[in-house]
Amino acid sequence: MRLIDSMPKRTPVSDFEKRLSPSDIPNPFARWASENEPRLKEFFVRGPLFGILFRDEQEIETRFIFGPPGSGKTAYHRMLARRLRPQNRNSAILAADYFELNSPRLAESERASDTFHWHMLQRAALLALVRDFLIDPQPFFALFPPSRAQLAKFFQELFPAQQPLLLANWLRRPEQEYPELGNAIEAQDAQYAARFQKQWELLETLRAPCEEELASDEIERVRALVMLVERCGLKRLCVFVDGVDKTVEQGKPQNALDLILPLIHSLQLLDEMHLAVEFFLPQELASSVQHGRNKRHDLNWTDEQLTELLRQRLEIVSDNKVSSLGQLAEEQPPEAKKQNPPRGNASKPKKKESAKTADSTPKDKTPEPLSQRLDRELVRNAHGSPRQLIRLATALFDAYDIRAPREGLFIQADLDAALAAERGTLKRDLLVPPLVIDERLGRFFVGDREVTADLSAKEKECLILLKQAGGKTLSREEIWKKLNPEQMTEPSRTQTDPFFSRLRGILERDSKHPVYLITDWGSGFHLENVAD
């Protein structure tokens, strides 16, 4: 049965006899980090690119996946890696992490050398192969003695000091089943590892003195390692490149490019070696990386997909009892309760006051109940990031626990506290693609999406005018007069409103919640998230 068919179906609130509260279910968002998710694939099964990246294993190939921080790149990386060896024993493809050994201790001179990425590929491939042997040593001992000696020589040269700790930490990961062996390896205690006799014998063989000679050419050494992988009955090696977001976030995109460009330039040669590379890179590098004939995908979540992810987590963790956080929220806002007059009150307000109330508080301004908008508010403030959505939901549960542990429902104060708590950690400029205004060429972009053709001449002039204001607010009258100097009369709202509404519709993902063309009520407009 396909996983998507086995997912819990939506459960209507009417199916329950009593109103549930947040204290009735465990916090579905407490373990939001991708490395801690025991059911990660189930949460992402309806996300963007899932059907593309998780087709038949034989379609694993070199490709580029770009996305902003928090868009799920590492989650997809980990899900793909779990489909392959060493974790999936039925797979014929070995997964390796290219940057796992990329520690700050590596010398900058080594990073800049032409052979750096070839060293990294060797280390990643060998570490993955040894991990596979630790789960099942039989393929190692089935190799001919020269091949075992060659592996031993690679092991001693590539991991002269770090190998015990690297292997031990991997064995102690939550998804592995050998924490005792990890402790034994780190402590170098053979007696402690007696129940893992074959694994210990494998490590002793790799550590034993070896006179085997390896090729001096770095490319030939990578080729030799890939051939060893194939001699163990595996068809291909797949290397995952992830983890350069932090370097880009620190304002050092060139450093990130220096690490990955040599690898990108070698892709054709690596493909001939039966070595595939899966790149998971920040969106900022998309314009700087030439992917050639290799496929490129952009990991962008819609609000509908984030809402579905939210629903899946709730239903899975609550045993299908809760489909929406709105089920755990109050149904009527306090403002609405205050406005409802008590029954039986014969007194009538004065006609003048009634007219004033009708004018100042139209029916469509009645506050919407929190139960109907809670999911939508969280999704909107996540700005297309599943990571941020889960962090906001966690903060919501935390705010509830502090305010009213074990009783009641979510209220507006809980939502306000969650948004305030995450406001300091949410780097919206990283989640929102920048608005790029190229005055010299007259081109306009929202991230990688060019909108030049969608804009009229006056709309382009308006954006340039607001950009030149440097974030300061310009009144709608001031803008309109500069755009229409021939008009002698003051502009009316019937002239200006459609103009700014259309401009916002072109730029914004959600016109009701703009992130570029911002209205300063009573003052005018200014631009935000504009690239320098």
Q: Is there a domain that residue 24 lies in?
A: no
> Cα 202 to the chain's mean position, in Å?
38
Tell whether 246 and 122 lie within a shared domain: yes
What residue ranges in 189-308 does DSSP mark as E strands? 236-241, 275-282, 295-298
Q: At what angle do helices 493-507 and 457-468 cross, to 10 degrees?
A: 80
Question: What pLDDT, on the 0 to 100 scale, is given for residue 102?
Answer: 46
Q: Is there a domain that residue 349 lies in?
A: no
On whether the CB atoms of residues 134 and 171 are closer than 8 A, the answer is yes
pLDDT tens per residue, range 439-495? 888 899 887 778 999 999 999 999 999 999 988 999 988 999 899 888 878 888 888
> Cα 278 to the chain's mean position, in Å?
16
Q: Which two tokens stand for residue 518?
A: 């911002």
According to DSSP, residue 377 is labeled: H
Q: Which two tokens stand for residue 263?
A: 């690898």
Instruction: Centre a 10 Å sphere on the Cβ of residue 180 and count the other Cβ atoms it contains.
Output: 14
Tell me the three state secondary structure of residue 463: helix
Mean pLDDT along residues 88-107? 72
Percent of the chain with pLDDT over 70: 77
Tell whether 406 and 507 lie within a shared domain: no
Tell whether 274 and 179 lie within a shared domain: yes
pLDDT band, residue 141 (cuts 50/70/90): very high
The residue from 410, 431, 452 where one domain ends is 431
pLDDT band, residue 330 (cuts 50/70/90): confident
Q: Is there a domain that residue 352 lies in?
A: no
The residue from 431, 450, 465 where one domain ends is 431
Q: Is there a domain that residue 132 lies in?
A: yes
Percent of the chain with pLDDT over 90: 22
pLDDT tens per residue, range 156-192? 888 776 566 667 777 776 656 667 777 777 776 666 6
What domain range includes position 4? 1-12+314-334+369-431
Tell whether 389 and 466 lie within a shared domain: no
Distance set, CA 71 to CA 76, 282, 369, 436, 510 (Å): 10, 9, 30, 21, 18
Question: What pLDDT, on the 0 to 100 scale, is given for residue 431?
Answer: 62
Question: What pLDDT, on the 0 to 100 scale, is given for residue 276?
Answer: 93
Residue 124 half-sphere exposure toward CB, CA atoms < 13 A: 24
pTM of the predicted model as reported, rounded to 2 decimal places: 0.72
**Pair type for strands 63-67 and 449-450:** unpaired
CATH code of the domain containing 485: 1.10.10.10
On whether the CB atoms of residues 444 and 463 are closer than 8 A, the answer is yes
Is residue 503's pLDDT more than 60? yes
Is residue 346's pLDDT more than 50? no
Question: What pLDDT, on the 0 to 100 scale, is given for residue 27?
Answer: 81
Tell whether 130 and 246 lie within a shared domain: yes
Strands of the sheet with 435-438, listed across from one edge: 435-438, 443-446, 449-450
417's CB contacts (< 8 A; 6+ apart) are 395, 399, 402, 403
Tell whether 379 and 448 lie within a shared domain: no
Of residues 107 and 123, more confidently modeled = 123
The residue from 377, 409, 431 where one domain ends is 431
Of residues 19 and 389, more confidently modeled = 389
pLDDT band, residue 349 (cuts 50/70/90): very low
Distance set, CA 490 to CA 102, 451, 495 (Å): 63, 30, 10
Tell whether 137 and 151 lie within a shared domain: yes
Tell whether 137 and 158 lie within a shared domain: yes
pLDDT band, residue 430 (cuts 50/70/90): low
Mean pLDDT along residues 495-521? 85
Of residues 94 and 317, more confidently modeled = 94
Tell whether 388 and 504 lie within a shared domain: no
**What is the maximal distance between C-alpha atoms in the chain?**
103
Instruction: Centre a 10 Å sphere on the Cβ of residue 347 and count the other Cβ atoms it contains.
Output: 5
Report DSSP letters for 244-274, one per residue: -HHHHHTT-HHHHHHHHHHHHHTHHHHHHTT
Tell whether 238 and 130 lie within a shared domain: yes
Q: Is there a domain that residue 267 lies in?
A: yes
Q: Which two tokens stand for residue 354?
A: 């009634």
* Summary mean pLDDT of the chain: 79
Q: Is there a domain that residue 343 lies in?
A: no
Of residues 430 and 408, more confidently modeled = 408
Mean pLDDT along residues 18-36? 71
> What is the count of structural domains for the chain?
3
Is residue 340's pLDDT more than 70? no
Q: Is there a domain that residue 134 lies in?
A: yes
Tell whether 213 and 117 lie within a shared domain: yes
Give the integer Cα–Cα distance in Å for 529 and 431. 10
Q: Is there a domain that residue 321 lies in?
A: yes
Tell whether 517 and 378 lie within a shared domain: no
Instruction: Give just the sign of the alpha carbon dihedral 518, 520, 525, 527.
Output: negative
pLDDT band, residue 376 (cuts 50/70/90): very high
pLDDT tens per residue, range 56-92? 777 788 999 998 878 888 888 988 888 899 888 899 9
pLDDT band, residue 146 (cuts 50/70/90): very high
